[in-house]
Amino acid sequence: MRNLTLSKECVKNIKLKKEISTQSKGRNSFVFFLSRDTMNEVMKLKLLKECLPYIMILIVVLLLRTFIVTPIKVHGLSMYDTLQGDEIMILWKLGEVERYDIVVADIEVSGEEDVVIKRVFGLPGETISCEDGKIYINGSLIEDNYGYGETSDFEPVTLKENEYFLLGDNREISLDSRVFGAVNQKDIEGTTNFIIWPFKEFGTVEN
């Protein structure tokens, strides 16, 4: 009888082990099911985490170029001999525009839009003129250490609020405010005085 009792207990233990094994397999299958179902989401989150620094850098660069600073390419010889016509410069979009600043401006000539790089001479509210190749502001002679060649005379021009009078340093060939008129402040993209290319010219423009 004792051996029979032991046999029943053994059978009971075997059944219990099978139930435990079955439950364990079910739990493992459930865990495996959850892992496979969420794998794509986990991978996406991991990829986003890895890319986030680069996304932030891209956003900062775009904001800088849009609102603060951007590279610009000089074309032509209208600013010779200050600029040679092939430089790449840094354009600063913030800050006040002052006399003698080099600026980039959007202009329109004969119905065609263009972007030019010139130097500021006349400021809002001033009257600018040129007589005998010399430039006058409100009737007073001002320094002009930038003109290359002879500056053609022009009649007095009184600037309105937010208007600027621009001249190219190469006075004999420059298409500037003597032709397309005063430029509104909203059409001035910014100021520039720093060359980044060619490397031999790297640095601030000498005025």
Global confidence as pTM: 0.71
Q: How confident is the model at residue 99 (pLDDT cuts 50, 70, 90)?
A: very high
Per-chain mean pLDDT for the chain: 83
Distance CA 116, CA 109 (A): 11
DSSP at 197: E
Q: What is the tens place of the pLDDT at every residue in 25-81? A: 444 444 444 456 577 777 878 887 888 777 777 776 776 767 688 999 999 999 999
What pLDDT, on the 0 to 100 scale, is given for residue 35?
Answer: 58
7, 78, 110, 134: which one is catalytic? Answer: 78
Distance, CA of 205 to CA of 102 (rounded, Å): 10
Q: Is 24 a catalytic residue?
A: no
Second CATH level (architecture) for the domain 74-204: Ribbon (2.10)
Measuring CA to CA, which residue among 160, 132, 164 is closest to residue 147? 132
What CA–CA distance (Å, rounded) separates 116 from 106? Answer: 7
Catalytic residue among 35, 118, 134, 152: 118
Give the CA diameter of the chain.
136
Instruction: Examine the pLDDT at 137 and tell me if it is beyond 80.
Output: yes
Cα–Cα distances (Å) from 78 to 53, 62, 94, 102, 199, in that order, read: 43, 30, 24, 12, 22
Is the model more confident about 109 or about 96? Answer: 96
Q: Who has greater pLDDT, 155 or 22?
A: 155
Model pLDDT, residue 151: 96
The reply to whether 78 belongs to the active site is yes
pLDDT reading at 128 higher than 90: yes
Please tell me the distance from the alpha carbon of residue 128 to that of residue 108, in angstroms, as a whole number: 21
Residue 152 has pLDDT above 90, yes or no: yes
Rounded mean pLDDT of 106-127?
94
Give the span between the Cα atoms of 93 and 97, in whole angstroms: 10
Residue 198 · residue 110 · CB < 8 Å:
no
